[in-house]
Structure 1
Amino acid sequence: MTHPRLSAPSAPFLPSGTLRELSEAARAAGTGQVPDERWTARRFLDGTPAAVAVLDADLRYLYVNDTLAELNGLPVEEHLGRPMPEVIPGSGPSAEVAREVLRTGLPQTVVFDGRAPDDKVDVPRWWLGAFHRIEGEDGEILGVAAVVMEVTDGIRQRESLRRAQERLELLEETAARVGRTLDAAEACRALTDLLVPRFADYAAVDVLDPEGTRRAPATPVPVRLRRMAVAAAPGTPEPFTPVTRSGEVIFHQASSSMSQVLAGHKPVVLNRPDDDTVRLLAPTRQRLERYRTLELHSVAYLPLMVGGEPVGAVIVGRRADSPEFTPDDAELLELLTARAATGIGHALRYTHEHETALEMQRAFLASPRIPGPGVEIASRYLPAGRGAEVGGDWFDAVALPSGRTLLVVGDVMGHGVRAAAAMSEYRSLLRALALQGLAPDRLLTEADRTAHALDLDRVATCVLVLLDPAAELSVLATAGHVPPLVVRPGTAPELADLPVGPPLGTGFGGYESRHCPLPPGTLLLAYTDGLVERRGEDIDTGLTALAHAPVAAGNALPDILNTVLDRLAPANSEDDVTLLAARTLREPLRPR
């Protein structure tokens, strides 16, 4: 069926003579007697903007108003007496509905689509057709009437609302999936997994990298980016494999689309570019053959903008039988990447700070200093799990005069780079004070006073254990820290009973030492609260579990650390876990 104008003009009233001539023509064509009721309503039918037709039992036109004639693109005279399928090729479904109405007598309403001969644009349009059977006074079946109204605007509005709702849900899904993690690689993977295969056959995320190009250039220049994530649709051929590795550094030449996008802050869409364009725009000139093997015909580059500056870009490709990118596709992809950019930007910033803090932590905790004679030590550091910030845990062992050793385990409150920096200050401060030969309680007092005077912006908990193997004596003191585990030969593990002082840096002071016997072979395990503290659980539960751990004083120190971690350390801790194990030797060396 052809397509009328959106608002058809009212048809003029037909003169009685014309109606009589049409009726006589219908009878002459053998269409049967036309019911008088049809003609009594002619003024209404001829004047309505709806398309109206009356067909006989053989679906031949008995009456057609001007609106329907215009809709079908034929004069009224060329309809009358002819079957519907003959007048309108492709009207089979409508004819089937009309036959069903003739057979059952039940009215039917259907929606169908089509195009008009004079349509300049090949886009679908829709009509609502109502069919009912016409019967004579004696019940004779005379034919069927059809009233057709265009409903294109309503359907398009409904479809537009549906697409808008789907787009809104998709944007919300993008923000939720990408923004639920602070791990940059995971956030980028969430975006590529969203794009493939729903919108593309291939997607990759390249970001600015401290080891390559740190900031987006103002003009197109060669750039080295980090490929954070990549995804390919099932069935992608094997030659695609070399370009699907995440984590590698990708070089993009100055003429590449990537360089243009980073410098111009605008998307670039390439539909079926020629070989010369691909050679010019590809990351490297050797990629042309690979792209052709993949049948990659359309690529879109979209910047990831955060605060007006790009942090990277998304590459989206279609291959083989997939359609080219339309303007609507490009607009939707731009909205998706804009929504994802915020989450990826946050994750990149956090990941950079997290890795910086972790590197600082590892540098400071590479290994404690060599202890004094008669003491062996082992240590372990587990950074917080993914999505958690690195804390300020540290440990140390300082060899002192007269064959003594000072063990230190501390934890700066807070997380991130600033906590790691504060940790280094406290570590250095305690080392310097330890070499003055102060007792643990005096040492903590001086450290607290100095940190408070220096106005360090982070307080720290700390436990000190001074070992004197020759005197078989240990002196312990704590500044708000969890108590060490003590295991003497032949006895069960127990937590040291220590008076707890305030954290360092508060300026409150008030620390006390506790002297404990240290027979040869005694094991001490100092740790941070990440080992025993759990969200929603009293810390005493974790301390009790540690005290009942199957730890024997004579076991190898690495085995002891493994046993404790296997039993207590969570798989994905929210806080760092630091352990320092020390044991006095059975035959300690006497100082000279």
Structure 2
Amino acid sequence: MPGDQVQPTPRVLLTQAELAELADAVHRAEGVREPAERLLDELTLTRRLLDGCPAGIAVLDTELRYLYLNDALALLNGVPAAEHIGRRLRDVLPGLESSEQLLRQVLRTGVPQVITVGGQTPADTTRDNRWWLGAYHRLSAPSGEILGVAGVLLEVTDALRGREDLVRAGNRMALLDEANRSTGATLDLRQACQALADLLVPRFADYAAVDVVDPEGTPRVPSDRYPLRLRRIALATTPDLTEVSSPLGLLGEFVVHRAGSPMAHVLADRRPLVLSHPDDEAMRQFSPSAERKEHYLRMGAHSGIFLPLTVHEELVGAVMVFRTGESPRLTDADVELLVDLTARAATGIAHAVRFTREHETALEMQRAFLNAPTVTGPGVETLGRYLPAGSGAEVGGDWFDTLALPHGRTLLVVGDVMGHGVRAAAAMSEYRSVLRTLAIQSSTPDFILLQAERTALTLELDRVATCLLALLDPRRECATFSNAGHVPPLLVTPDGTRTLLSLPVAPPLGVGLGSFSATTVPVPPGSVLLLCTDGLVERRDRDIETGLDALATLPINPAAPLPTLLDTVITHLDPSTSEDDVAVLLARTGPTNPDTPPLGWLPQDWVRGAGSAPG
């Protein structure tokens, strides 16, 4: 056509046969000088070296057309050498990453370049890409004329794949280690499950849910008659799925899988179920309800997996994972990795499940015991509160109690069983019951503790307990104390004077070394007594003396309502930072009986610290 530019014919290099024929002709000719013969011999040798080199070698002209390539390169490319000559690189190998821009840069600047090129050639029998390492430099004539580009190529596919395999293996181990650490770093069930969900999204999925078996709704032995009920503990989605995925289940909601459903079989058989290219029927069976099937389809879910969370064949829960939209479909390698990942995470989640259930059981026991009705004698007002440690710490055996006794007296009790968990809570109930029984039969706090010590040894209680008893007698305006290894009480008189009583301290109950004493101190009408467990004043980052000093200087107004005083105590000492449970008991005495003279004031050696608070 008019205007078309005619490309000049490339100056194709002589073949090895042509070079050999030319050399023979020169050797037969008469009058040819020896240097010319040597030159032709060297050219022939060089060509043999290039042609026989195991690395691919090519020469291209300034238009990037093949002038020469050896058999090794033709074999790599899967195209006969003759079909390369005179054609451009992109015309011969359209499936190869184009490197023409780089070659033109070499032609323009003369700076050699080394690059890795990937793609496919006609020699490939699989869909996997291959990789070559290429070194290119410019060819120039003695006159400076640019003749073209020479390249040397080596296939490095196996080396790169081996390196990629090592990288993938390292990433896999790092990921499994992260699953171990993130789910095992806490005993908080919600945090452990959310750590797994956040690990899955967005790295492996667009939607992930972690459910935990509800022990009250799911039988331990799989059955075709009973549904499996799980509670949804954690969710994670990509931002664009947050709204559309909400009908699939909310945090804390129960998810019930009907008996005989695929999901029930997954949980019963402890085997994952993979959905790839799910149709309506598969999605219907996968979904616990028809409504949820519609939501899965509306999300654009195209592949998913449901994985049981098990530890030593014990079913802990399940994980549901979906990919949607443009995300690639789950591969066999993805499934294998997800199975390993959830298996690692299951151990940490199982620990959190067991701890949470024990924590809740112990807490319910504590509340049940502490909610039992308490009675005070005349002239005494009391208010107690039990504050469990945070969900990441075990429930202890702290308790408080009040008991009305004959002659208008009231016994105050605050104690702390050593240890944590259900056994500590159970031991607390035993000590509480023993003290209540003995208080009715005994007259003084020291004798009550002595009898309690003997009873604990007789019953072989496996936990020791600290305990403080205060026998209030409003008519005589006094209180008698006996202390078994416990935190001292705080006395606030009507004028605001605060005194941390320094009482003789005996060993805790259950040790077998008890020798208890009783100490009586005056308690004017309108005074406030504060008894507590060590969790109120002791912290890991400070010694107990600092906490006791803070207790002794609390700004307590003895005339304020007891709920207000209790809020003051909690606000200033902040037991939420404690790693232990806290029991606090406040008591205020009423008016004095005018027929009974008051006792004298406190001896100096009973006073630990004193001060005045604003009235």
**Structure-1-length-normalised TM-score:** 0.91
Which has the larger displacement, 121-130 or 211-220? 211-220
Aligned residue runs from structure 1 range 214-293, under 5 A: 214-215=219-220, 217=222, 222-236=227-241, 238-293=243-298
Aligned residue runs from structure 1 range 335-484, under 5 A: 335-367=340-372, 369-484=374-489
Distance 2:49 2:81 in 1: 17
State the Cα distance separating 1:91 from its structure 2 match: 6.1
Instruction: Flag the 1:73–1:497 CA change in 2: closer, same or farther, 3 A.
Output: closer
Paired letter, 1:496: L
State the Cα distance separating 1:152 from its structure 2 match: 0.4
Distance 1:220 1:325 in 2: 33
Distance 1:19 1:153 in 2: 37
1:584 to 583, 589, 594: 589
State the Cα distance separating 1:484 from its structure 2 match: 0.8
Asked if 1 retains the 8 angstrom alpha-carbon contact of 2:478 and 2:520, the reply is yes
1:542 to 514, 529, 547: 547
SS of corresponding position for 1:512: coil
Which residue number in structure 1 is paired with residue 17 of structure 2? 16
Paired letter, 1:16: A
SS of corresponding position for 1:414: strand
Distance 2:151 2:130 in 1: 18
2:319 to 304, 314, 320: 314
Asked if 2 retains the 8 angstrom alpha-carbon contact of 1:255 and 1:280, the reply is no
Instruction: Flag the 1:20–1:166 CA change in 2: closer, same or farther, 3 A.
Output: farther
1:170 aligns to 2:175 (yes or no):
yes
Instruction: Flag the 1:494–1:77 CA change in 2: closer, same or farther, 3 A.
Output: same
Distance 1:219 1:52 in 2: 70
State the Cα distance separating 1:52 from its structure 2 match: 1.2
Distance 2:228 2:532 in 1: 45
Distance 1:84 1:285 in 2: 57
SS of corresponding position for 1:235: helix
Distance 1:216 1:170 in 2: 33
State the Cα distance separating 1:201 from its structure 2 match: 1.3
Instruction: Flag the 1:328–1:590 CA change in 2: closer, same or farther, 3 A.
Output: farther
Which residue number in structure 1 is paired with residue 528 of structure 2? 523
1:485 to 452, 467, 490: 490
SS of corresponding position for 1:286: helix
State the Cα distance separating 1:587 from its structure 2 match: 5.4
2:133 to 119, 128, 136: 128
Paired letter, 2:17: S
What are the superposed Cα offsets for residues 296-321 of structure 1, whole Å, 9 maximum, x if unpaired?
Answer: 22221111121232211100111222
Paired letter, 1:500: V
Distance 2:521 2:392 in 1: 41
Structure 1 stretches of at least 4 aligned residues deviating more than 6 Å after TM superposition: 588-591
State the Cα distance separating 1:586 from its structure 2 match: 2.0
Which has the larger displacement, 125-134 or 84-93? 84-93
Which residue number in structure 2 is paired with residue 53 of structure 1? 58
Distance 1:370 1:504 in 2: 24
Q: Which runs of 5+ in 1 are unaligned?
A: 1-13, 22-34
Distance 1:60 1:170 in 2: 48
Asked if 2 retains the 8 angstrom alpha-carbon contact of 1:476 and 1:515, the reply is yes
**Structure-2-length-normalised TM-score:** 0.88
Paired letter, 1:106: V
What are the superposed Cα offsets for residues 102-137 of structure 1, whole Å, 9 maximum, x if unpaired?
Answer: 232222111110112242321111001111223344
Distance 2:517 2:78 in 1: 103
Distance 1:20 1:89 in 2: 36
Distance 1:457 1:237 in 2: 51
1:506 to 508, 511, 517: 511
Instruction: Flag the 1:280–1:94 CA change in 2: closer, same or farther, 3 A.
Output: closer
Aligned residue-pair number: 567
Q: Which runs of 5+ in 2 are unaligned?
A: 1-14, 23-38, 597-615
Distance 1:497 1:321 in 2: 73
Instruction: Flag the 1:589–1:392 CA change in 2: closer, same or farther, 3 A.
Output: farther
Which residue number in structure 2 is paired with residue 69 of structure 1? 74
State the Cα distance separating 1:405 from its structure 2 match: 0.8
What are the superposed Cα offsets for residues 139-169 of structure 1, whole Å, 9 maximum, x if unpaired?
Answer: 4433321111100011111111111222222
Which residue number in structure 1 is paired with residue 307 of structure 2? 302
1:561 aligns to 2:566 (yes or no):
yes
Aligned residue runs from structure 1 range 141-180, under 5 A: 141-180=146-185
Paired letter, 1:373: P
Distance 1:261 1:351 in 2: 25
What are the superposed Cα offsets for residues 372-423 of structure 1, whole Å, 9 maximum, x if unpaired?
Answer: 1111111111101121100000111111111111110000011111100000
RMSD after superposition: 2.4
Percent of aligned pairs with the same residue? 56
